[in-house]
Amino acid sequence: MEEGTAVPLFVNTIQDMILKETIYQIVENFLINTNYYLVDVKATPDNRISVEIDAFDGVSLEFCAELNRHIESQFDREVEDFELEVSSAGLTEPFKVVKQYEKNIGNEVETLTKAGKKIAGILTEVRDNEFVLQVEKTEKPEGSKRKVTVTEDLTFAYEDIKNTKYIIRFK
């Protein structure tokens, strides 16, 4: 497709709506040669579009504005009206993609399992289907009078996790 060519963006169902997949493709193509990655795209039936991006070294306001202009340039405002917001992934929001786990290796995170158990620990490893948290717990060794702190590596499959968030600590 030639640069500057408008992308077809309508679906003739009950309401015309900009397709989430179209926005996803536009953003992914724009991010290919950058250090940024796509976290999420939301599109509502009333054409409110929200794009979340992230990067290992942070997201600049200038880059969000540049991406916003690029997305808008792909559509004909004479034909379709929409509201567009491009932002960085929220620091306190749950992780949505594996790259967010990778970005937070070495940081303290809190994981909520689908079974309802909350576990906080240091994110030490990220793999395609699972991640590892190093957690500290106190145990009383057999024959000892005192409890000691031990570290343990716990492995979680993404499919068993409800959410994982970065923990902000003020020291």
Q: Of 16-25, 89-98, 152-161, where does mean pLDDT reach its minimum?
A: 16-25
User: What pLDDT, on a 0 to 100 scale, did the predictor assign at position 17?
Assistant: 55
CA atoms of 125 and 140, how far apart (whole Å): 28
- Which CATH superfamily is 20-88 part of? RimP-like superfamily, N-terminal (3.30.300.70)
CA distances from 152 to 95, 117, 129, 130 (A): 23, 16, 20, 16
The answer to whether 169 and 95 have CB atoms below 8 angstroms apart is no
**With the CA atoms of 74, 58, 56 and 108 taken in that order, what torsion angle do they form, in degrees rounded to the nearest 10?**
-130
Between 168 and 12, residue with greater pLDDT: 168
Tell me the CATH number for domain 98-166. 2.30.30.100
Q: Of 39-48, 114-123, 158-167, where does mean pLDDT reach its minimum?
A: 39-48
Q: What is the pLDDT of residues 123-136, one digit of tens each?
A: 999 999 999 999 99
The answer to whether 131 and 97 have CB atoms below 8 angstroms apart is no
With 50 as the cut, is the pLDDT of residue 12 above it?
no
Between 14 and 35, residue with greater pLDDT: 35
**With the CA atoms of 141, 167, 114 and 51 taken in that order, what torsion angle do they form, in degrees rounded to the nearest 10?**
-160
User: What pLDDT, on a 0 to 100 scale, did the predictor assign at position 19?
Assistant: 78
Can you give the residue ranges of every domain in the chain? Answer: 20-88, 98-166
The answer to whether 57 and 63 have CB atoms below 8 angstroms apart is no
With 60 as the cut, is the pLDDT of residue 8 above it?
no
Q: At 18, is the pLDDT very low, low, confident or very high (cuts 50, 70, 90)? A: low
Q: What is the pLDDT of residues 54-89, one digit of tens each?
A: 999 999 999 999 999 999 999 887 777 889 999 999
With 80 as the cut, is the pLDDT of residue 2 above it?
no
The strand pair at 36-43 and 48-55 is best described as: antiparallel
Fold: same for 20-88 and 98-166 = no
With left for phi above 0 and alpha for psi between -120 and 50, is residue 84 left, alpha or beta?
beta
